[in-house]
A and B are shown apart, each in its own frame.
Chain A
């Protein structure tokens, strides 16, 4: 449609909200990060970028970054793989199976992340599994949930558990849009199922802009992972310890805020937040660059 008479007035309420709830507070956070504000010392005088510089040499911060990156990578990868797997199952099933099972598979998305922290807690799942392994099967071993490998895995599994269905839905849509003739031609040429997947299905998924956008959005989201590591802090009894092994960046910030050891160092917290924000904004810009249709 032409540029004539765009009803700009329709945009005003949203713009107001964006500024009041988004741009404004972010800007104020930025200002705070340039100061030494804390609830004990509420001065907002800017002191330059010293917080940022201090952050760069802070080992606890880097540890949190490492933990976060590990969890992000593992989680996004796992949910991608599981999502594709579920999608393949769904698309190769008959109509009734499809509607029944896709309803089931979709449930995790509705489950609150904080509840997921309970679902995969040491008590729940491993109570039975460990008992089975140790006693039932008399294997004499059990899964030690205090080992890093275990709990990192569990956190990754938790997050992937929630979001794999999303990957499944997107992948299903992609698979549905592949012309059937490609598979028929492959069948005639005697291709096995694995070959069909390798040569037709998987390439189609990889190049799809939808999957790329979803992966980028999920990565941006995963960076602020909070609820599940938060829960694990309590399972592992580390909630009072700053820089604990399950602290993602968000959890770190929470600890700084709520711990009684520190005097609410708001300036430092906002510094970290702004850094995290930069990551998010860059990821979003990447999303938009790759998916120009979003801009239309």
Chain B
């Protein structure tokens, strides 16, 4: 085979593979979007007006395009209300995490001190901890303090995820800044606070944006803490997906499948958009700066 033909062949193969991989990513999502529109393309394959799940026939099926599920979900007391909740909780939690985490990240990046290893370990552990290890005490204490189903309560709980993300990521970004710049600032007589504000932060701003988005998305997607510690007031989007956007009672009612899918679609939109915006920094974020990009 001539060189060129070989190259072309491998190019075709590569494109096929790329498209297949994209299919693997996008197909499930597209199904979810479709089902939300009550579009079931199964019948297209069978030529019959039926669909098939496991051994059971389901009477529904067929393309009954309808936007009703999305309309239902977008009523004010449904998705938009939960959207606001999720946003309030996520934004406030991330803000606190940034205020506490930035100075800590700076110190960890610039200085050696005893206990730094412990701090790193603690942050790492916090991020990977099973929620159940802290959930019950939170449940009990929040009950006693009346923090159950409050924005403050939820924002605080989510610090467990957000603080490690912000701190460890920013530590990585601060370390990326050439050491001499800090030494020069240091020698110029600047205090740590001045250096952090005027030198480190401006230079690591894109990193901060990425870290903040990352923490935001993590909080947004979180289901577990939301399941246990939110009630009717602060119900978040992710909990709403599962138990119904507008259900005001704590219930595990299984929704109509189409409803579920519509909800799921709406739920992932903000997270996906934000993540695409900062995807360059994603790898560092999830490994918490453990590797250089």
Contacts and interface: CB of A to CB of B under 8 A. Distances in A.
Chains A and B touch each other in the complex, with CB atoms below 8 Å apart? yes
Interface stretch (A54-62, A110-118, A180-188, A195-203): A110-118
B260 interface: yes
A206 interface: no
B99 A13 contact: yes
Contacts of B287: 166, 170, 210, 213-214, 217
Contacts of A102: 279
Contact of B42 (A128, A210, A288): A128
For chain A, the bracket of interface size reads: 35 or more
Contact of A227 (B53, B129, B223): B223
B232 to A, nearest CB: 17
Given A22-B160, A89-B17, A274-B133, A226 B224 contact: yes
Interface residues on B, range: 35 or more
Contacts of A169: 282-283, 286
Given A104-B22, A105-B22, A136 B45 contact: yes
B54 A122 contact: yes
B207 interface: no
Contact of B268 (A17, A112, A234): A112
A144 to B, nearest CB: 6
A58 to B, nearest CB: 16
A287 to B, nearest CB: 7
Interface in A80-120: 85-86, 89, 92-93, 97, 101-115, 118-120
B221 A113 contact: yes
A277 B129 contact: yes
A16 B134 CA distance: 16
A115 B264 contact: yes
A70 interface: no
Contacts of B96: 17
B101 A210 contact: no
Contacts of A172: 283
Contact of B100 (A6, A13, A32): A13
Nearest to A166: B286
Contacts of B40: 127-128
Main SS class of interface, A? helix
Contact of A106 (B24, B110, B238, B276): B276
B14 A18 contact: no
A115 B133 CA distance: 24
B94 interface: no
Given A8-B113, A104-B26, A112-B220, A118 B261 contact: yes
Contact of B132 (A120, A132, A209, A250): A250
A145 B52 CA distance: 11
A125 B275 contact: no
A85 to B, nearest CB: 8
A11 B32 contact: no
B28 A119 contact: yes
Contacts of A276: 130, 132-133
A124 B221 CA distance: 21
B92 interface: no
Given A26-B133, A284-B124, A173 B271 contact: no
B104 A10 contact: yes
B29 A119 contact: yes
A209 B291 contact: yes
A144 B54 contact: yes
Given A213-B291, A277-B130, A107 B51 contact: no
B199 interface: no
A66 interface: no
A262 interface: no
B125 interface: yes
B249 interface: no
Nearest to B228: A257
A134 interface: yes
A32 B137 contact: yes
A205 B28 CA distance: 29
A61 B276 CA distance: 40
A272 interface: yes
B43 interface: yes
A40 interface: no
A213 to B, nearest CB: 4
A64 interface: no
Contact of A131 (B35, B51, B130, B138): B51
A1 interface: yes
Given A25-B138, A32-B137, A89 B21 contact: yes
A280 B137 contact: no
A221 interface: yes
Specify which of A85, A128, A287, A288 lies most central, judged by the most chain B CB atoms within 10 Å of its CB: A128
A23 interface: yes
Q: What are the nearest 10 A-B pairs in CB distance?
A: A210-B291, A135-B46, A169-B283, A112-B221, A10-B103, A110-B275, A13-B100, A25-B134, A136-B45, A273-B132
Interface of B: 14, 17-18, 21-22, 24-26, 28-29, 31-32, 35, 40-43, 45-48, 50-55, 61, 96, 99-101, 103-104, 106-107, 110-113, 116-117, 119-126, 128-138, 141, 156-157, 159-160, 163, 167, 175, 182-183, 186, 192-193, 217, 220-224, 238, 241-242, 252, 254, 257, 260-261, 264, 267-268, 271-272, 274-276, 279, 282-283, 286-293
5 contacts: A17-B100, A26-B134, A101-B18, A128-B40, A231-B242
